[in-house]
Each structure stands twice: as C-alpha cells, then as structure tokens.
Amino acid sequence: MDYFDQFSFLKPLLSYRRIIERKRHHFCDYFEFSNSALYEDCFQWTTKNAALHEGIVSLPFFLYFFNKKENDAFAYQFEQMNIIGISTGFFENLLARCDEKGPEMERVALLQGINIRNLANQSAAEFIFIVARHFVYFHEFAHLIQQDDIVNGELPKADQYCSQEEKLTQDHVKERDADIFGANLTMSQIQLMFKSYHPQYQTAQTLEQLVVLSQVALYLVFDILSDGLKKPIYYEETDHPHHVIRINLLQKMMSSKANNMDGVGALNIFNILPRTLAILSALNEKSLNRFVHNMNTYGGQIDEYEKKYKEEIEQHKWTAGAKMEIWHNSKFR
C-alpha cells in the first residue's frame, strides 16, 4: 500500500494548504506566496524523502510551513501525525540571503575554481539554498526520531524526572545528535547529486567544490538564526549549544563525511577550508570575523565541550544516530 493511502484524510493537506497560521488550525495556501514554486519543490522533495524513511518513526511525518516572520524550525506531534515545522520567515530569509549575496558568492566561487553550473546547471546560491533547506529539515527529523521508541524502545528521560543539570546535558545531547544526524543525511543527499553528474565530473575535485558550498550553506543557517554570531561564547548555560560551536562541528563533519565516500580519492583539506572562508567573507564578513575570533580565542574550551558531548552521545540508545543505524541495518541487510 502506498505510504500515504493509509492517511487519505490528509491528502487535501498534502497537495495544498501546507502553510499553517500561528493558531495551528488555520491552513492557508502556499501558492499565495510569491516563491510558491520553491515551496512546492520543497514539499515534493520531503514527500519522497518521508517514503524512504518509512518505519523509523511510528506516526507519519510531514513538513509544514508556519506563517510567521521569526526564524524558527521545530518538530512535534499533532493529531496523530508528526510535524516538522519551518517558519515561512526562516525559509524566506534563507532565500533572500541567497538572492542578495548570490552574485558576490558566485563571483568569489568562480575565482576559487568553483563552477557548479558546469555540473548541474545550477548557481552556487541555488545549491547553497537547497543544502541549507535539507539540513534544517533533517535536523528537525532527528528530533522526531529521538522522541519515538518504535525502533529500539528507547526514549530520552522525561524532563520532569531530570535535575536541572541532567536536563541541560540531555538537551545538548539532543541538539548535537540532531546536528550530526542532519549533516550525515545532508551529505547523503549531496552524494546523490554527485552521482547524478556526468561520470567525467565525478572526481575528488568536484566533491571538494560541493563540500565548500555545503559548508557555506550550513554556516548560512546559523548565521541567520544567530543574526551574525553576535552573542559572546557560552557552553551549557542555555539549552542550545552556541552557534559558533555548532558551525565548527558541522564544518568538520561535512569534509570528513565526503572523505569517506566510495570510489572517490581522498580530499585535500587545503582545497576546502580556504575556499570556504573566501566565500563566507562574501556572505558576511563581520560574522566570519566573529567566528574566527571565537575559534582562535576559545578553541581549547570548545574542544573540551566537544569531547564531553562525543562521549555523552555514545552512551545513549535514544539518539537519532543510534536509531538510524538499527533501522538502516534492518532494512538494508
């Protein structure tokens, strides 16, 4: 049976009316928005993706856009379905930044020998937008998986049974896990794009270009969410890790994941990092200066934080990463 047949009552919502007003019950038509083709594209992609991940959560899951201008993305259960929510403001801000900074990023990318128009008839900004969108979606998808026990019966400890300190640690495990999961699945999508290119372009040099642009994309997500990384560094004072710490993790993950891709030789880190930095300075130079300053000043403490959470994540079976591994093995082996 088709994945969606069981939920035929949702079909009217699936084909249109996928933007929800803040009062959850009011759905409005996304084609009223000027970027309706991009919303449409996003829905089509997530529908296909949801079918591929059938069985990893117990209820069907769908993407909705929530009509509000603040940057926001979240995941929760609502009326027997899982909702991944992205605010229209966040989506539009991602788009606007790609539009506004696109030509300059493109110019710098070309100077760096990055030209993905050759590969997929796509501009650098279009690629960056798609990767950013994938990552936000997969990060929220991870939160749905964390809160669902269908795969291995494991759930995080309920907040009311945690001490304040335990809760903070657990919140950070959730966010780190969701970022790692998001980066892993985003990299799988990039791998698919790579494999769709003409064989003559399926080289380490091409993959290096894609890694550079995907690092820019993930930076863009956090640059928007943090309004240019202005907050001084902090560690476990709030329930989300500092954006600088999150970017640092994701930059490393994108290159190391690509490095392990089948059939492509080892990537040269020196072909990646300087080019990422060059494009980021075209994206937002002030923010990049803050990022570099924080990394130079607090690198040691950030390493400590990372080490602690690497160990923490390995201790739990409720993480999206742990559940994905079990689900994947049961499906593909």
Residues that bind Zn ion (CB under 5 A): 175, 178
Q: What is the per-residue burial (b if ≥16 Cβ within 10 Å, else e) of 2-37?
A: eeeeebeeeeeeeeeebbbeeeeeebbebeebebee
User: Which residue's CB is nearer to Zn ion, number 151 or number 178?
Assistant: 178
- Minimal distance, residue 28 CB to Zn ion, in Å: 26
Token pair of 251 as six digits: 């930059």
User: Which residue's CB is nearer to Zn ion, number 175 or number 223?
Assistant: 175
d(CA 96, CA 284): 14
Nearest to 19 by CA among 56, 59, 58, 68: 68
Q: What 3-state class would DSSP assign to 137?
A: helix
H or E, element range at 12: helix 11-15
User: Which residue's CB is nearer to Zn ion, number 175 or number 208?
Assistant: 175
User: Which residue's CB is nearer to Zn ion, number 145 or number 178?
Assistant: 178
User: Which residue's CB is nearer to Zn ion, number 151 or number 180?
Assistant: 180
- Minimal distance, residue 327 CB to Zn ion, in Å: 20
- Minimal distance, residue 96 CB to Zn ion, in Å: 23
- Minimal distance, residue 181 CB to Zn ion, in Å: 10
Residue of minimal Cβ distance to Zn ion: 178
What is the 3-class SS of 263-330, one letter each residue? CCCCCCHHHCHHHHHHHHHHHHHHHHHHHHHHHHHHHHHHHHHHHHHHHHHHCCCCCHHHHHHHHHHH
- Cα 250 → chain centroid: 10
- Minimal distance, residue 148 CB to Zn ion, in Å: 15
d(CA 217, CA 290): 18
Greatest pairwise CA separation for the chain in angstroms: 56
- Minimal distance, residue 73 CB to Zn ion, in Å: 8
- Minimal distance, residue 174 CB to Zn ion, in Å: 7
User: Which residue's CB is nearer to Zn ion, number 106 or number 175?
Assistant: 175
d(CA 164, CA 184): 30
User: Which residue's CB is nearer to Zn ion, number 127 or number 135?
Assistant: 135
d(CA 146, CA 319): 5
